[in-house]
Chain A
Amino acid sequence: MIRVVLPPHLRTLALVDGEVTLDVRGVVSQRSVLDALESRYPMLQGTIRDHVTLRRRAFLRFFACQEDLSHEPPDSALPDAVARGEEPLLVIGAIAGG
């Protein structure tokens, strides 16, 4: 199972506590994880990536295994530790506001 940690506002929106676990088939990539996430929690559609372009929203970042993966192509494989469920994919809201 793939583990995903959402920022607090999106946990509230999705009515979840703590990590989300997802069953992802095929290559575990940003796109396949987000597809699975939005399929299970439709209210998150449009909040992490744009509805039309599917681009990551500008003030969000994807971290895993102490790396910033935000600029990786969406179909690139995520680290093995994420694919094995040993490490979570972190969706992080950018720090802003001073």
Chain B
Amino acid sequence: MSKARVLVGTRKGAFVLTSDGKRKQWDVSGPHFAGWEIYHVKGSPADPNRLYASQTSGWFGQLVQRSDDGGKTWAPMDNKFVYDGVPGTHQWYDGTAHPWEFKRVWHLEPSLTDPDTVYAGVEDAALFKTIDGGRSWSELSGLREHGSGPRWQPGAGGMCLHTILLDPSDPNRIFIAISAAGAFRTDDGGKSWRPINRGLISQYIPDPNADIGHCVHRIAMHPSRPGVLFMQKHWDVMRSDDAGDSWREVSGNLPTDFGFVIDVHAHEPETIYVVPIKSDSEHYPPDGKLRVYRSRSGGNEWEALTNGLPQQDCYVNVLRDAMAVDRLDKCGIYFGTTGGQVYASSDAGDSWAPIVRDLPAVLSVEVQTLS
């Protein structure tokens, strides 16, 4: 029988939530790495028992943990993220040149085919890779050394590389996104990169149509259609049908098009989910109502999903890596909040229930579908 395993990163540790295919009763394991910020936990598609976790702390810096038994036990791996060569500068908040400095790993993306290969998106923005299961990391410096690097600048949360999408049909194609530089794509396995931000319009930068400088919050893809991308930008929900070469807005009838998460139904490539947030300075749902919005048409027409979600006095946020979908039938949708709830839907969003209500603030949610 199939199972679901939800991997939750929080401000004070990691939690592993498991259930059978019905997804009604859940076992909760954790906190793992109690007291540490866990920015992201993700399992290898090639070996579901192989998990990687980004463990970080303002006091003690960055660690990467690895589990070979589905999260029961963990071991620290190499934590040396050193930029290639002299890393140069990017723009600081005040417009001055600021040296590239490693702060933390925001996102770990295991290879689709090799459990020992993992990509790490870090702050200050760069992409690292291990091919030995985390025993050593090396930078794919073609991204940071893209000519626009000195013009990149941090968003409010830091200059983080937070999204890594691997194209299942082309191992040389990778999409990444950086706050607040924008989205980039490589077609040669990470040697060279180009910005893919045409069509993004951001009124908060001097040239709203600039090739870089857009605050992309998250990009999602359905594995059966890797050329179709969906983006939650700082403001605006966007769609590309040409692998990022051009984007068009699909915010449609959303109550607000600010938000962080976006994801795609596991079996319906045109069904997408977002959680609208009131504004860039009011990081909570509009009207105190926590609503997931679903579009079955790839954008523009959206319906509010409220059954089981708090519809009054709710002022939590849902951060960019805190939504995931399983591959069961019906598709399960999961998201975590800064209030410590992890909500799950086992019917593609029609109804929701909290798996846990009182965790530390949730930073990330991933799910594994296990057979």
> Are A and B part of the same complex?
yes
A59: contacting residue among B35, B58, B63, B76, CB under 8 A: B58
Complex alpha-carbon distance, A94 and B319, angstroms = 28
* Set A46, A59, A94: member contacting B62, Cβ < 8 A: A46
What is the bound-complex CA distance between A7 and B60, given in angstroms? 10
Pairwise interchain contact B82-A10, C-beta atoms closer than 8 A: no
Name the distance in Å between A63's Cβ and chain B's nearest Cβ. Answer: 15
- Taking CB atoms, residues of chain A closer than 8 Å to B208 are none
Chain B residues closer than 8 Å to A43, beta-carbon distance: 63, 76
Q: Output the nearest chain A residue to B36 by Cβ-Cβ distance.
A: A9
Number of A-B contacts (CB under 8 A): 41
Interface residues on B, range: 10 to 19
**Chain A residue at minimal CB-CB distance from B77:** A43
Please provide the chain B residues from 71 to 90 with a CB less than 8 Å away from any CB of chain A in the complex: 76, 79-80, 82
B67 within 8 A of A: no
Interchain CB contact under 8 A, B59 and A13: no
Instruction: Give residues in A with beta carbon < 8 Å to B.
Output: 7, 9-10, 13, 43, 45-48, 50-52, 57, 59-60, 93-94, 96
Shortest distance from the beta carbon of A95 to any chain B beta carbon, whole Å? 10
Residues of the A chain whose Cβ atoms lie less than 8 Å from the Cβ of B59 = 7, 9, 57, 59-60, 93-94, 96
Known: A9-B36, A47-B61, A96-B58. 19 other contacts (CB 8 A): A9-B35, A10-B60, A13-B63, A45-B79, A46-B61, A46-B80, A47-B60, A47-B79, A51-B79, A51-B80, A52-B82, A57-B59, A57-B60, A57-B61, A59-B58, A59-B59, A60-B60, A93-B59, A94-B59
The residue of chain B having its C-beta at the shortest distance from the C-beta of A96 within the complex is B58
Residues of A within 8 A of B57 (CB): 9
Instruction: Name the A residues within 8 Å of B61 (CB-CB).
Output: 46-47, 50, 57
The smallest C-beta distance from A10 to any residue of chain B, in angstroms, reads 7
Chain B residues in 8 Å Cβ range of A7: 59
Question: A87 to nearest B CB, angstroms?
Answer: 23
C-alpha spacing A13/B79, complex, angstroms:
13
The residue on B at minimum CB distance from A10 is B60
- Minimal beta-carbon separation of B102 from chain A (angstroms): 9
Given A9-B35, A9-B36, residue A45 in contact with residue B80 (CB < 8 A): yes
Q: Which residue of A lies closest to B62 (CB)?
A: A46
Question: 30 A–B contact pairs at CB < 8 A?
Answer: A9-B35, A9-B57, A9-B59, A10-B60, A13-B63, A13-B76, A43-B63, A43-B76, A45-B80, A46-B62, A46-B79, A46-B80, A47-B60, A47-B61, A47-B63, A47-B79, A48-B60, A50-B61, A51-B79, A51-B80, A51-B82, A52-B82, A57-B59, A57-B61, A59-B58, A59-B59, A60-B60, A93-B59, A93-B60, A94-B59
B63: chain A residues at CB < 8 Å are: 13, 43, 46-47
Which residues of chain A come closer than 8 Å to B60, judged between CB atoms?
9-10, 13, 47-48, 57, 60, 93
Q: Inside 8 A of B36's CB, which chain A residues have their CB?
A: 9
Contacts of B62 in A (CB 8 A): 46
Of chain A, the residue at the smallest CB distance from B75 is A43
Q: What is the 8 Å Cβ interface bit string for chain B, positions 50-74, against chain A (1 contact, 0 not)?
A: 0000000111111100000000000
Most chain B beta carbons < 10 A, residue from A7, A46, A60: A46
Which of B59, B61, B76, B79 lies at the interface centre, i.e. has the most chain A CB atoms within 10 A of its CB? B59
Shortest Cβ distance from A44 into chain B, in angstroms? 9
B147 to chain A, nearest CB (A): 25
Q: How far is the CB of A34 from chain B (nearest CB, A)?
A: 14
Please, how many angstroms separate the alpha-carbon atoms of A13 and B56 in the complex? 12
A4 to chain B, nearest CB (A): 15
B35 partner residues in chain A, CB cutoff 8 A: 9
List of B residues within 8 angstroms of A45 by Cβ: 79-80
CA–CA, A13 and B57, complex, Å? 13
Cα A13 to Cα B34 in complex, Å, equals 11
* Chain B residues, CB < 8 A from A57: 59-61
Complex Cα gap A59–B59 (Å): 5
Distance in angstroms from B227 CB to nearest chain A CB is: 39
Write the chain B residue with the least CB distance to A42.
B76
